[in-house]
């Protein structure tokens, strides 16, 4: 088990791939500058520090996948959203991990 897997839990890519195929709401929680340098096709940018004030964007979503550069900010975003009562939030961890799942 890798360092980040030990810290943030192993990402279940089969579940990730499945929810993405079913039109999950893809949310890149990196900064706008990081997002503008490239992201996952179809993802929206809601930076981690804006999650709490943009909760309305998460309403009525069947599944939401949050991701970032290393998995740290996405783990925080998942906790924030679950604290506010949102369910079916998946930590996609890294941009590369989610991009791989999108292209499977």
From CA 71, how far away is CA 8, in angstroms rounded?
Answer: 7
Q: Rounded to the nearest 5 degrees, what angle is found at the Cα of 72, between the Cα atoms of 102 and 81? A: 80
Strand ordering across the sheet containing 89-94: 44-45, 25-28, 64-68, 89-94
CATH number (domain holding residue 64): 3.40.250.10
For residue 42, what are the domain limits?
3-102
pTM, rounded to two decimals: 0.87
- pLDDT for 42-78, tens place per residue? 999 999 999 999 999 999 999 999 999 999 999 999 9
Number of domains in the chain: 1
């Amino acid at each position: 088990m890798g360092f980040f897997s030990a810290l943030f839990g192993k990402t279940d890519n089969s579940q990730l791939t499945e929810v993405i195929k079913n039109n999950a709401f893809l949310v890149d929680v990196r900064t706008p500058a990081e997002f503008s340098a490239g992201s996952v096709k179809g993802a929206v940018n809601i930076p981690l520090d804006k999650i709490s004030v943009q909760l309305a964007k998460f309403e009525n979503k069947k599944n939401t996948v949050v991701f970032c550069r290393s998995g740290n900010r996405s783990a925080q975003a998942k906790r924030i959203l679950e604290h506010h009562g949102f369910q079916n939030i998946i930590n996609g961890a890294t941009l590369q991990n989610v991009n791989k799942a999108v292209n499977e």
